[in-house]
Structure 1
C-alpha cells in the first residue's frame, strides 16, 4: 500500500507541475519548493525547533494562538511553520510570529528523511488535518512526538472504511490526538486509537482575542451610523446573486458591506453590475468620499473582514452556495445572527450554531428577508439570538490552554 501511496504522491505533484504552466497558484507552489532544503539548512541549523504544519491559511488561523502560547512558554526554541498551499504560504511567509516559514516538501520518503535530518524538530504539531504518511512514518521511526491539534473526523474518511487498515495503521503512530468533538473521539476509539482528548477548536481563542480590541475606522463608523448593516464576508458570485435579490427589499432600511473571497478587478466589476441600481463604492475609492452617501461598500483589500464584522447587525458568510462555507466564527464572536447557504455539512461550528439558533442556513433571499422582518418586529427575539451567540463562543474558548497543559505533561 505504501508503494501505491508513493505512486499517487508522484502523480499528484506531476499534475501540479503540468498545471503550473497555466495556473498561477500551482506555479507559486512549484517555485516556492525549488530551494526548500537549502533554505531550511540555513534557517534551522543549531536551533531547537518546534514544527507546526498547516495546510493553508485557515489552519494557520487555528495555529496562531497556539504558536503565541508556545513562544511565550518556550522562548529559547524556534517555531517552524510549514504550509502545503500557496494560499497560506504567500500570505504568511513574512509573518513575524513564526521564526521560520516554509513550504512542506512533497511527501516522498527521501524528502521526509532529508527534511527531518535538517530540521530535527523536538516535536511536530499538525493542525486539524493533512496526513502525509511518509512524514508520519519517519517521525515515528525517529521517536519524535507528533500531535494532531483541533482535529475533526467524519465516518466517510478512509480511516474508518472496512478496507482502510493501512490508513488506520499510520494514524496509530501519532503520539496524541486533540480533537474538536465527541464524535471524533468515538470514531478514533472505534479503530483502536485511545490516545485522544477533546479540547475543542483553537479558532475560538483566536477570534475571541481579536474581538477584545474592536477595530475602529472613520470610514466604517460613518458608513454604518445611519442604518443597520449586513456584513457579507468571503462571498462568491453565487452568494452575491442572492444578496442582489435581497437588497431591493431592504435597501430603504439597511446597508451592505461586501467583502468578496476574490478581489480581482473582474469579480469586483461583477458585483458592481449586480448592484448597479444602488449607490455602490469600493473601499479603495472611499478616501475623498462621504461614506454615508453610499448604500453598498465593497471591500477590495485583504485583511479587513475579521475586523469589521462587529459593524454589522447581521452577518452573511459566503461559500455555502458553492464549494463550502467559509469561517463563521469571525462573525459569531460579535454576537450577531449569521446567514449562509445550504452547503455546510462538513463544518462542525455551523451545525452547532444552527442548533443554538444563532446561525441560519438559507436557500434563497426570501428566507433571509423573513428573518430580518421578524426581528425588526420582535427586537427581544433578536437580542436573545445575540445572547446565545455570545454564550456559544464563551463556552468554547480555552482550547489553547488545554493543549499547552497537555503538551507539558
Structure 2
C-alpha cells in the first residue's frame, strides 16, 4: 500500500512540477541527486548521512553535524533535503561534504541511493520517516537514529488504522525524542530503545547567540531608543503591530518579514505612517533618524532580536508560528499569535512566562501597554524567556554520548 501511494505521489509531483516552480525544483533536484552522488562520492570514505526535510530540521541537525566535523574529521558528511526551501538556502553549507536532494522514496531510488553512498550511519531529523530507505538501512545493519523527534497521539502510528505503517518505526536503531510523552507513546508500540534528550535547536540558538553578527546600521538605528522587533511576520501580524506603532511614537520598530518580495515590502511601507528605511538601501546616518527599519534581506534576524526590548514572532495567524527560540535566547519577551498549539517550545515558553499569546489587535494593545508601562513585569518576562532557553540546552551532548562513531 505504501509503495502504491508513493508511485501515485511521484506521478502527482511530476504533473505539478509543470505548473509550480518550487515543486519543479524539488522534482529536478531529486533526479539530479544521482548525478551529484556519482560525481562526488569518494568510494574509500565513510559517510555519515543526515536527512532534513527543510530548513528547520537542518537547524536541528546542525549542532550534531558540526560536532561530528570537529571531533571525527575522518568521517565525511552527506546532507540531503526534501524541500527547496531547505536546499536552496543551505546548498553551500561548508560543514557537509556533499549536499543534494533526497530522491523520492521508491524501492528503486532507495536501492540506487544506498548503493552509491554506502553510509556507515544515518540521522533522520524530527518527522522524517521514509519507509524504503529506512527498511534498507535496517536490513543492512546500518545504525539509524531519529533525532529531536516528537510524537503525538493523533499521528498515524498510534491510530487503529496505522498498524501497517508503524512498522517503519522498528527500522530505527534508537530514538532521541524531545519529551516524555513521545517515549510513552513509542512504548505502547513496543519500542523501548528511546532516550528523552530534548531538542537540539536550543543548542543551536545558543551557538548563534555566541556568534552574533555586528550590525552597524542596526546599532545606529537603536541609539538608546526602546525597540520592538518583529520577525518572520506575515500580513495579518503586520496589520496588528503596524497599526499600534503608528500611534506609539516613543518606540522604534524593526520588521523582518517572512516573505521578502518587492510587493510585500511595498505593502509594509505603505502601511507605515512613520519614517521608514530599508536595511539594504540605507546608511547608519540615515538609520539613526528613522523610526522604522525594514530588514529586506535574509540571514540577520537571529542577530537582530538582541536589539529589542520586546519581540514578536509571526505566523501565528496562519499556518503556525516561526522560531520563537531565536528571540527568547536574547532574554526578551516573545509575543505570538494563536496558532501555536503544535509547537512544544511555544507552549513551554508560555508556561514559563517568557511568551505571551495574542488573538486580536485588542489583545496586542493590552499586552503592549502593560509591557511598556510596567518595568518589573517586562523584566520578569525577559528573564523567564532567557532562562527557559538556557535550561533546555544539552541535547547535542546527550545524543553524542550515546552514539558510537
* Residue in 1 that maps onto 2:197: 199
In the alignment, structure 1 residue 36 sits paired with structure 2 residue 17: no
- In 2, the alpha carbon distance for the partners of 1:60 and 1:127 equals 8
- In 2, the alpha carbon distance for the partners of 1:124 and 1:247 equals 48
* Residue in 2 that maps onto 1:220: 218
Report the more deviating stretch, 290-299 or 373-382: 373-382
In the alignment, structure 1 residue 159 sits paired with structure 2 residue 157: yes
Tell me the SS of whatever aligns to 1:65: helix
Matched ranges for 1:10-409 at <5 A: 10-46=7-43, 47-250=45-248, 252-275=249-272, 277-287=273-283, 290-408=286-404
Q: TM-score, normalised by structure 2?
A: 0.97
Matched-pair contact (CA < 8 Å) for 2:31–2:103: no
- In 2, the alpha carbon distance for the partners of 1:214 and 1:140 equals 40
CA RMSD of aligned residues (A): 1.4
Matched-pair contact (CA < 8 Å) for 1:178–1:196: yes
CA drift at 1:214:
3.5
Q: How many residues align?
A: 404
- In 2, the alpha carbon distance for the partners of 1:38 and 1:216 equals 40
Deviations 1:246-272 (A, max 9, x none): 22342x211111111110111111111
Tell me the SS of whatever aligns to 1:408: coil
Task: Name the CA shift for 1:226/1:10 in 2 (closer, same or farther; >3 Å).
Answer: same
- In 2, the alpha carbon distance for the partners of 1:128 and 1:138 equals 20
CA drift at 1:236:
1.0
Matched-pair contact (CA < 8 Å) for 1:344–1:350: yes
Structure 2 unaligned residues grouped into runs of 5+: none
CA drift at 1:307:
1.2
- In 1, the alpha carbon distance for the partners of 2:317 and 2:99 equals 33
- In 2, the alpha carbon distance for the partners of 1:82 and 1:230 equals 37
Deviations 1:66-95 (A, max 9, x none): 101111221111000000001111111111
Deviations 1:187-229 (A, max 9, x none): 1112211011000000100100111244322210111124211
- In 1, the alpha carbon distance for the partners of 2:371 and 2:332 equals 12
Deviations 1:299-352 (A, max 9, x none): 111111111110111110011100011011000100100011000111000000
- In 2, the alpha carbon distance for the partners of 1:225 and 1:85 equals 40
CA drift at 1:38:
2.3
- In 2, the alpha carbon distance for the partners of 1:71 and 1:214 equals 21
- In 2, the alpha carbon distance for the partners of 1:242 and 1:12 equals 39
Q: TM-score, normalised by structure 1?
A: 0.96
Report the more deviating stretch, 326-335 or 381-390: 381-390
CA drift at 1:7:
2.0
CA drift at 1:406:
0.5
- In 2, the alpha carbon distance for the partners of 1:243 and 1:137 equals 49
Deviations 1:144-167 (A, max 9, x none): 110100001111100000121112
- In 1, the alpha carbon distance for the partners of 2:117 and 2:214 equals 42
- In 2, the alpha carbon distance for the partners of 1:213 and 1:106 equals 36
Matched-pair contact (CA < 8 Å) for 1:249–1:369: no
CA drift at 1:289:
5.2
